[in-house]
Structure 1
Amino acid sequence: MNIPTVFWLVPLASAVALGMAWYFFTAMMKEDEGTTKMKTIAMHVRKGAMAYLRQQYKVVGIVFVVLALVFAFMAYVLKIQNPWVPVAFLTGGFFSGLSGFFGMKTATYASGRTAHAARKGLDSGLKVAFRSGAVMGLVVVGLGLLDIALWFLILNYVYEGEQTALITVTTTMLTFGMGASTQALFARVGGGIYTKAADVGADLVGKVEADIPEDDPRNPATIADNVGDNVGDVAGMGADLYESYCGSILSTAALGATAFAMKGDMQLRAVIAPMIIAAVGIFLSLIGIFLVRTKEGATMKQLLRALGLGTNVSAVLIAVASFVILYLLGIENWLGVSFSVISGLVAGVIIGQATEYYTSQSYRPTQQIAEASQTGPATVIIKGLGTGMISTCIPVLVIAVAILLSYLCANGFDMSMRADSISRGLYGIGIAAVGMLSTLGITLATDAYGPIADNAGGNAEMSELGKEVRQRTDALDALGNTTAATGKGFAIGSAALTALALLASYVEEIKIAMARAVEEGARFIDVAGQSFDPSRATMPDFMDFFQVNLMNPKVLVGTFIGAMAAFLFCGLTMGAVGRAAQSMVEEVRRQFRELKGILEGKAEPDYGRCVEISTRSAQREMIVPSLLAIAIPIVVGMVLGVAGVLGLLVGSLSAGFTLAVFMANAGGAWDNAKKMVEEGHFGGKGAATHKATIVGDTVGDPFKDTSGPSLNILIKLMSMVSIVMAGLTVAFI
């Protein structure tokens, strides 16, 4: 098929994103890293982060090789798998890991430079931190579009001339999402365990027991804590949103190929539409990045407004651009599909604002948690849990409205449930997810900014810079806590829309697997005893054939297992953090007890031992939760079939989405309540209220940085595994 000229905007946008990422990186590297002590501290963090990442990639590499061999056996020996899956799986994992690596490398060089820039002023520190964070955002979207463009061109060449070429191409491209999701889950879980083991150990022994400040160089866990911010919140988040970004584009392209099948050029235009929207979003994200600036002495609301200006301008511009893009492409019902994009964009903005309200110390919910510290840690925890639970209402309702609106706008408000109406509606949901993630270049920049600012504060404290510098880095750090919470809310919201689109893509993959089985001589009989032809069947036909309804116990059992999987995963990752943190607490206590002169500042702690404990714990503990996410959909598919898998995905999506929002927001609110007390409210640093909020923050650490953000990957990975294993599921029908 002839590739339209407009498609070349996709690789062009990818090249621009990667070029601008390089420009921001080199500009950051030209900044002064500060004093000799600042450079030494930054070097320790950088070495620790890179050492951890190398070890993680060794473990993940083994898992990838084993899984690739399994897929190769299924594809080339059993003939129940797409032959491209083993290669696509490996490339997806490679690009996902590469995006996290580049982002983390930038962050470890940027933190010391941000601290030094903060000596000049707040705006200087903000610019260095934010534009360094933009490297992560631009690398993720640049590599994501590069991967998509390359696969699209290669597979179009391979399948050119086939009647169902675009359906084959898009469903094949979906499979590299499993590689990206698998890599992202290991990065998120491993990084989250690493950082929170160090953070909890540093806080409980250093701040509560020894009564020394956060990031004090006398604390042996301080370097490990700063390393953890990079491996968890930068490398992990980058890999996470890489697979969200690619998953939304690829699932929408697959749905477009089905919704506009037999429509000639219209089908091709529907397939490339999400890619074009994402490509234009890169250019508009760059405009937003250059708009972010602030003034000296800015309040938290003013700092939030500075970041909000960049993200909101980019969102408004992509909203307008979507109408133009879909009109020029000549998409059928282009106006309705454009409003589907808008529904996703608006949903993302509202979820971000709701997250900011529930986690920022500028608003009442977090202020009430800080107030609760006056009656001890128990009330801090109770209030934080309640706030997190209440905070789920707005995101869930917003996603529900976005799903309905995007579905109805795309199919012309047709409620008939005809096959073509359902397909067009599902395409609308997919393109809403693309709309939400279209400005990821700047949205991820605001998230990656957080750990850079946090590390800058640590560097300032350990380097004993002036009080005014620490105040500036604290302001940037508090802002980073809110932007990180907002970024997590955004990632979770996009995961919900993407997972729903993947749910529809799963049915399409089952259709292809069944058609392949028929070609091999298999025969399918429906409940009425009639022969079932998958090649002619519509979405409602498949629902009838597999009895996907609430009266089917397989669907109900699958739903329960899916909901349970979300809680099981959280329990395992929380337990992993607890065990790793216990080892860290014992080590910090040992050093304070046995290494004389540490607390007096006369001897240097053994930072390397704490880094080693976090690294070893993370590598060991991340295996079981990550492999469970892969195993559960396979087992359910073999035992309960397609109906059970669909129930599983619905259960994991509904429970996982709500649980993830609750955990991320509760953790963010506890963290900022602690920051509020540290700024002098309700007694200030060292008071009983401060220790109460430290306990709350310690409980919230694995909530917001390990279990909560990992859930959105779990949701998508289970969908991806189900799609990739569709051939195996069909073999057991």
Structure 2
Amino acid sequence: MFDVVIMALLCGVVAVIYALTLAYLIMKEPEGKGRIVDIANFIKEGARAYLKRQYSIILIIAIIIAVLLSIFSVRMSLSYILGALSSVLAGYVGMWIAVNSNVRTTYAAKEHGLSKAFKIAFRGGMVTGLMVVGVGTALIAVQYLLYGGGPNTPDVIRDLIGYSFGASTVALFARAGGGIYTKAADIGADLVGKVETGIPEDDPRNPGVIADNVGDNVGDVAGMGADLFESYVGAIISSMVIAASAIRVLAGGEWIRWALLPLAIASAGIIASIITSLVVRVREGGDPSKPLTLASIISAVIISILTYPLSTWLLGPGIGIRVFLVVIVGLAAGITIGLTSDYFTNKNKKPVRRVAEMSQMGAALTILSGLSYGFLSVVIPAVGIAVAELLAYYLLSPLGFWYGIYGVALAAVGMLSLTGVVVSADAYGPITDNAAGIAEQAGLGENVRSLTDKLDAAGNTMKSISKGFAIGSAALTALAFLAAYTSSVSQIAGLDFSMSMMLLSILDIKVLVGMLVGIVLPAAFISLVIMSVSDAAFVLIAEIRRQLREKPGILEFKEKPDYGRAVAIVTSYALKRLIAPGLLAIISPIVIGFVLGPYGLAGALLAAIITGLLLGLFQGNVGNTWDNAKKFIEEGHFGGKGSETHKAAVIGDTVGDPLKDAAGPSLNILIKLMSVVSLVFSPVIVSVNLLRILGMV
């Protein structure tokens, strides 16, 4: 069975090498000269400064947590450090290549046209995607080998939970901090620029424009990369934990085949991502969104083709076909979520155009119509995830109850085998967004800006799809961790695995109270994040107004704005205000577990996952609907830029910004991190809790 681990290690290493090769090819492309390089350097400096300060804070917190974990397990503590460093590495490399690809994309559009510019931007996104899956898969395999994993050492897999915990810690601060930064900058730049002074988006006269461009990278590249890196490694490890606990009791020595199956599927996903990257192209005059959408479908087909022989090799043809179908179910769920998000957020579809039409009657109808479509947009994804879980469970439950639960976790692995391509398409978005901004700020010709805007429009569509995919995959991953947590608690408490899940009945008062507590946690988390965005935006708006008031020549191109001051303000506030949401995510499951015991905590996790899924999908979709309604109007519909309709749409977009790019995506991390923390501390929660101390259990 070590063949599977070696295969995963090799696939991960190949992915990293290929990513670095693509980065090298991008850096060989000319970046031009003059104004576009100056603007790009401002963006680079701002992004680098933000990440440097953010990672320094993460380092301090990670060291404290690693020391605490070493009390329970030195190997888990080491895995935690590796998980944190892996997430930092994947995020930093992705951000670095994004801020170097943007100006090269702009220059390629100017000198060569659409096809060349698309190639550079897509390669830039592919670097991030391949780093995420390559680093994650390779280091899980390396740790398994170093710790002496095998049929007789199931504890090795439990130590791998630390790797997921480390990735979760970084993801929380990267996603929440990056979201607070990018949306505070976006709101500040939009309200003063578009609404108050009437200057267009990405105008160089706006003192907040560089902060806005920086935010695209720290939020949608480093933040999204860390988010899906966490989901990716979490789905793999949670499946392995279920196999090493519950299935080991049921299957004996054969459990190791089930434990290593997720690594085999992850390897198939890496191969599919690399092949897909070689065939994605766009012709001159073509629509860039089509090959980006097609990339996910091509990757899903390749994964499906590879999964069947891998699963039959590990588990035999009878069980292999069932595993194959579970993976198909996961892939189908991921694509369904993506297509639904696309329908509700694509400016060529009815919902966005209807919201744009409603904006003619004022901002109130912009908000109301967007809210109605936002709530409607959660129905199909939620039902799709429910159906996927049901099918995944019943495909494997004939082998036993815990095999069915394992099937749910494996469906998450199937969905997340698309991570390489999904992250690539998402990271493509900020690159083209920056490229369009650079073209606008540098005053390049209308023909160049039309090309960069076309690339940017495709990027906006992919960002909408990837946000839906991220929250859907987060929910499945969190449910997989919940199952792993329950199997771990059952093993620690010495319960019969066939009966342990029955103890999660909502008729149990501990579970019911836990669910009531769990329901409110996403709401509290959203409140903290949105308030943080509001406070940071408030200070930035005051700074932009001050500069425009004290330097009236800025609007006449006679004086230069102080971009650095705006960047420094948003950086400081974003990092200060992410501490409270971070503590809520890490400490709340420990407190709930201590007060209500392991089953009360399980109820809280279940409620938080369901609530977080619905609120996350709603916020992501409604924000993108308002955003694209604004963009549709800016194309000349219903009065175009500067009209009253446009001003109403800008208000809708501004309200939606913190929802779709800060609070909504951060919920992904909340539900996963709560589940991981619960799993890590499950031995303590079982042994030491208030109910046990008081003799009430």
TM bucket, shorter chain:
over 0.9
The answer to whether the aligner puts 1:306 opposite 2:291 as a matched pair is yes
Give 1:539 deviation, angstroms.
2.8
- Map 1:404-419 to 2 at 5 A: 404-412=390-398
The answer to whether the aligner puts 1:539 opposite 2:497 as a matched pair is yes
Give 1:265 deviation, angstroms.
5.2
The answer to whether the aligner puts 1:204 opposite 2:183 as a matched pair is no
**Alignment equivalent of 1:504, drawn from 483, 492, 499:** 483
Contact 1:481 1:671 in 2 (8 A): no
Counterpart of 2:131 in structure 1: which amino acid?
V
1: CA distance, partners of 2:619 / 2:198: 28
Give 1:513 deviation, angstroms.
4.0
SS of structure 2 residue aligned to 1:449: helix
Contact 2:9 2:139 in 1 (8 A): no
Counterpart of 2:412 in structure 1: which amino acid?
A
Partner of 2:629: 673
1: CA distance, partners of 2:50 / 2:507: 49
Give 1:311 deviation, angstroms.
1.5
Judging changes above 3 Å, is the alpha-carbon distance between structure 1 residues 684 and 222 closer, same or farther for their aligned structure 2 residues? same
- Map 1:422-441 to 2 at 5 A: 422-441=401-420
Partner of 2:51: 53
SS of structure 2 residue aligned to 1:175: helix
Contact 1:478 1:672 in 2 (8 A): no
Judging changes above 3 Å, is the alpha-carbon distance between structure 1 residues 58 and 346 closer, same or farther for their aligned structure 2 residues? same
Alignment size in residue pairs: 686
Contact 2:118 2:288 in 1 (8 A): no
> What whole-Å deviation, never above 9, does each CA across 1:629-682 have from its counterpart, x for those lacking one?
111100000000011111111110000000000000011111111111111111
Partner of 1:285: 273
Judging changes above 3 Å, is the alpha-carbon distance between structure 1 residues 452 and 585 closer, same or farther for their aligned structure 2 residues? same
Partner of 1:415: none
Contact 1:408 1:425 in 2 (8 A): yes
The answer to whether the aligner puts 1:118 opposite 2:109 as a matched pair is yes
Give 1:209 deviation, angstroms.
0.7
Give 1:263 deviation, angstroms.
3.7
Counterpart of 1:314 in structure 2: which amino acid?
S
- Map 1:14-413 to 2 at 5 A: 14-72=12-70, 75=71, 81-119=72-110, 120-156=112-148, 162=152, 165-166=153-154, 168-257=155-244, 258-261=246-249, 263=251, 266-298=254-286, 302-331=287-316, 333-412=319-398
1: CA distance, partners of 2:413 / 2:505: 29
Contact 1:22 1:135 in 2 (8 A): yes
Judging changes above 3 Å, is the alpha-carbon distance between structure 1 residues 336 and 365 closer, same or farther for their aligned structure 2 residues? same
Partner of 2:695: none
- Map 1:688-699 to 2 at 5 A: 688-699=644-655
* Structure 2 residues without counterparts, runs of 5 or longer: 693-697
Partner of 2:609: 653
Judging changes above 3 Å, is the alpha-carbon distance between structure 1 residues 151 and 437 closer, same or farther for their aligned structure 2 residues? same
> What whole-Å deviation, never above 9, does each CA across 1:49-69 have from its counterpart, x for those lacking one?
011101011111111122222
Contact 1:195 1:227 in 2 (8 A): yes
SS of structure 2 residue aligned to 1:32: coil
Counterpart of 1:435 in structure 2: which amino acid?
G
The answer to whether the aligner puts 1:492 opposite 2:471 as a matched pair is yes
| More divergent stretch after superposition (193-202 vs 169-178) | 169-178
Query: So what's the TM-score if we normalise by structure 1?
Result: 0.92
2: CA distance, partners of 1:199 / 1:492: 22
Counterpart of 1:103 in structure 2: which amino acid?
G
**Alignment equivalent of 1:608, drawn from 564, 568, 575:** 564
- The RMSD of aligned alpha carbons is 1.5
1: CA distance, partners of 2:290 / 2:640: 26
Partner of 2:684: 728
> What whole-Å deviation, never above 9, does each CA across 1:323-365 have from its counterpart, x for those lacking one?
1110112356111111111100011111111111010101001
SS of structure 2 residue aligned to 1:296: coil
2: CA distance, partners of 1:682 / 1:468: 24
> What whole-Å deviation, never above 9, does each CA across 1:473-522 have from its counterpart, x for those lacking one?
112112111101111111111111111111111123224544xxxxxxxx
Contact 1:572 1:625 in 2 (8 A): yes
SS of structure 1 residue aligned to 2:204: coil
Counterpart of 1:449 in structure 2: which amino acid?
Y
Give 1:463 deviation, angstroms.
0.8
More helix by share: 2
Give 1:697 deviation, angstroms.
0.8
1: CA distance, partners of 2:519 / 2:498: 25
1: CA distance, partners of 2:172 / 2:178: 10
Counterpart of 1:585 in structure 2: which amino acid?
I
Contact 1:492 1:660 in 2 (8 A): yes
Contact 1:373 1:689 in 2 (8 A): yes
Give 1:381 deviation, angstroms.
1.1
2: CA distance, partners of 1:666 / 1:577: 17
Judging changes above 3 Å, is the alpha-carbon distance between structure 1 residues 93 and 5 closer, same or farther for their aligned structure 2 residues? same
Contact 1:93 1:183 in 2 (8 A): yes
Counterpart of 1:351 in structure 2: which amino acid?
I
Judging changes above 3 Å, is the alpha-carbon distance between structure 1 residues 635 and 104 closer, same or farther for their aligned structure 2 residues? same
Query: So what's the TM-score if we normalise by structure 2?
Result: 0.96
Counterpart of 1:18 in structure 2: which amino acid?
V
Contact 1:175 1:723 in 2 (8 A): no
SS of structure 1 residue aligned to 2:504: coil
Give 1:32 deviation, angstroms.
1.5
Give 1:439 deviation, angstroms.
2.3
SS of structure 2 residue aligned to 1:411: helix
Give 1:289 deviation, angstroms.
1.6
Give 1:540 deviation, angstroms.
4.0
Contact 1:377 1:692 in 2 (8 A): yes
2: CA distance, partners of 1:263 / 1:511: 17
2: CA distance, partners of 1:197 / 1:308: 30
The answer to whether the aligner puts 1:662 opposite 2:618 as a matched pair is yes
SS of structure 2 residue aligned to 1:156: coil
2: CA distance, partners of 1:446 / 1:219: 29
> What whole-Å deviation, never above 9, does each CA across 1:52-89 have from its counterpart, x for those lacking one?
101011111111122222223xx2xxxxx344222222
* Structure 1 residues without counterparts, runs of 5 or longer: 76-80, 413-419, 515-533
2: CA distance, partners of 1:624 / 1:464: 42
2: CA distance, partners of 1:360 / 1:712: 22
Counterpart of 1:132 in structure 2: which amino acid?
G
Partner of 1:520: none
Partner of 1:685: 641
Contact 2:10 2:138 in 1 (8 A): no
- Map 1:637-648 to 2 at 5 A: 637-648=593-604
Contact 1:336 1:411 in 2 (8 A): no
Counterpart of 1:353 in structure 2: which amino acid?
L
Partner of 1:449: 428
Contact 1:507 1:539 in 2 (8 A): no
Contact 2:4 2:260 in 1 (8 A): no
Counterpart of 1:317 in structure 2: which amino acid?
I
| More divergent stretch after superposition (393-402 vs 495-504) | 495-504
| More divergent stretch after superposition (360-369 vs 59-68) | 59-68
Q: Percent identity?
A: 46
